[in-house]
Chains A and B, each alone.
Chain A
């Protein structure tokens, strides 16, 4: 006879209540949202039954941004106020963006510092705000479909995104009010979508050619563990460049002369349509009269189109070869195609030839990333207690520090598995030097001037010593999202300084707060109430976690006195939670958190020992798996 289960007072009697989690593919050209319901992961549709939301935001109307197909239609009429491919500007400074902006006929604000801003009819808009507008539309779609607020989102980014671009993406989610569970690399998401369904094993290459970016990743799949071996790509290469190649060809051949902003957009639209048509047809016609009245139509066949894009496709293949070498593998078991641009027949043929494999494309290449992200979101939020999935990702670009003479010292090389912590020792170069300026950079080149500047901070208060006597340890820590924290500590005195890297081309904390306030017009008291609520949730989480941990391991891993001490602090915090004293709750939770750290560490140490005693079993059945073939 089954025993009846009775929940402890205060605990949820419904342990498997599903939380609302989504995966979002925030793309250069289109964005999608997907979710898992009733065991099936699907992309969510809008009221018109469409799953793709064009990543276009129009600020032509001061009443507020218009997002999607409607905004795209307005593009040729209001080119400067309609932001397309805004993802290309995320985390970028003004100087990096001028060429791109000119091509798109945007007006840039002249802030020389911080992230680029567009001047529109609705005022200055940052790429983060435009991305937040896109996310808000997807969030609203998900809320309607799933019947309630979204409790967690996994948002995908190109594997090749740098620190500034990742941080900008996270800021956009914050602005849109979406709780981010994780930033996930797009190729990894695609591998999850394929790997989990088919229980795939072996080495997989994910070839992801989107509208604006190209990513290649090599992963090893093993029983639900997705280990990224290497990743590479090009942040400025995608299907948009195919369109641009057609535009240049048409401009020249059709003798169209200098084009105005709206005309350029119209020609671009023709080029895109021609490219899409050539995925199935052998030839197509560009009706140039729609760009310049009276211009003769131009015919484009597939052969000519392939000539135009050949060098671009070759560039992607070279990146693939480098990535294979970085991964240390000679061949792959499978190739997965992601991104709308992989519909181009030449791309498919070239990939198949290069990897000597027919690529997989069973899942719609437009949907596969969002679906993988939704699966990961479902697991991270705790909807699949038995969901045996683990993603081990890498950093795409090396992280380092500027040293003497404008050279960079790499602290963490690219393709290092995250999370990662690395320390390096530095010293002072002048007698009596009391401060050290740290300049954090990202990229592969040797000269700092060729690298992306991430952040600067200073370690002050070093006691005067002779040059070379101070021992300054700089520690870089990258978390599972690929975001960096840097600590510096002078070892002889213990002077410390740290920075959560807010990229030079990011938004400052104040800017984000201002934007949040502008969008919700928070009163000061609302802000406090919100902070209190957040702090209480976190404290509650801490208490619940500790209760469970103590019940499981308290007697085995703690002395009676240690146990007693923790219980006292827990009761103190529980009592404070009944009240409204934010600083006291915060202090008490901090103190409990610190006091319980040793216990948590002992539990993890034990995990290490147990993990390995369990491993011998896995090794054993691994051998058994192999037996028949040997």
Chain B
């Protein structure tokens, strides 16, 4: 499968400067404009090879948008642009306090099936995790703009942990209640 050579990084593609705080309105506007021109539906009656190319371009634009739209993915991407590999990011140490908090949150999650009415507890848990995620996003933004990559990577790892936990909480919700 040949694919077009996309040299631009995702920030350049949308005309944004590479930073954790981005203008999400501008991202959305530029994203829609690019898809208006490149989406395969625009090539519905074009020749097969051109449709294939449109799928690849459109997929690239989608990937770029997905990456920049999500705070966690954007943080990972910024670290990668700064030269850190995925492995280097996940090898970053986090403090013991954070790990203990994680275990407590996880215990709460695991105790849910034994409760008579798990719904309000679960809702509270989801709110708590979401709040923690926002705190670590702020931590990342500060460290990244101060060029402190190890600290930024550490905040990023915490965001990863919490996102995973949030997903598990959502999975638990559909299993417990439906």
Footprint of B on A, CB under 8 Å?
181-182, 222-223, 225, 227, 234, 315, 318-319, 322, 325, 380-382, 388, 390-392, 416-422, 444, 475, 477, 479-480, 487, 489, 496, 498, 538, 541-542, 545-546, 593-594, 596-597, 600-601, 604-605, 607-608, 610-612, 614-615, 618-619, 622
Contact = CB atoms under 8 A, between A and B. Distances in A.
Contacts of B14: 612
A66 B28 CA distance: 50
Nearest to A220: B28
A615 B29 CA distance: 7
Given A390-B41, A419-B55, A419-B62, A541 B35 contact: no
B37 interface: yes
A489 B1 CA distance: 9
A342 B45 CA distance: 37
Nearest to A544: B47
B66 interface: yes
Contacts, number: 141
7 contacts: A325-B170, A392-B35, A420-B63, A477-B1, A597-B2, A605-B4, A607-B38
Contact of B33 (A227, A315, A319, A611): A611
A72 B43 CA distance: 41
B47 A225 contact: no
Interface string B23-42: 00110111011111111111
A288 to B, nearest CB: 32
B33 to A, nearest CB: 5
Nearest to A626: B25
Interface of B: 1-4, 13-15, 25-26, 28-30, 32-42, 44-50, 53-60, 62-63, 65-66, 126, 170-171, 173-174, 177-178
A64 to B, nearest CB: 34
Given A182-B44, A538-B47, A421 B29 contact: no
Contacts of A611: 30, 33-34, 36-38
Contacts of B177: 315, 318
Contacts of B48: 538, 542, 593
Nearest to B57: A604
B50 A545 contact: yes
Contact of B46 (A223, A545, A608, A614): A545
A222 B38 CA distance: 17
B44 A380 contact: yes
A75 B2 CA distance: 53
A480 B49 contact: no
B156 to A, nearest CB: 19
Contacts of A315: 177-178
B39 A542 contact: no
B62 A225 contact: no
B38 A421 contact: no
A392 B41 CA distance: 10
Nearest to A607: B37
B62 A418 contact: yes
A600 B43 CA distance: 12
Contacts of A479: 40, 55
Nearest to B178: A315
A234 B34 CA distance: 33
Given A421-B56, A477-B59, A597-B2, 17 more contacts: A222-B32, A315-B178, A416-B66, A420-B63, A444-B171, A477-B1, A546-B47, A596-B49, A600-B53, A601-B53, A604-B54, A608-B34, A610-B37, A611-B33, A612-B15, A615-B30, A622-B25
B47 A541 contact: yes
Contacts of B66: 416-417
Tell which of B33, B34, B38, B58 has the most Cβ of chain A within 10 Å: B33
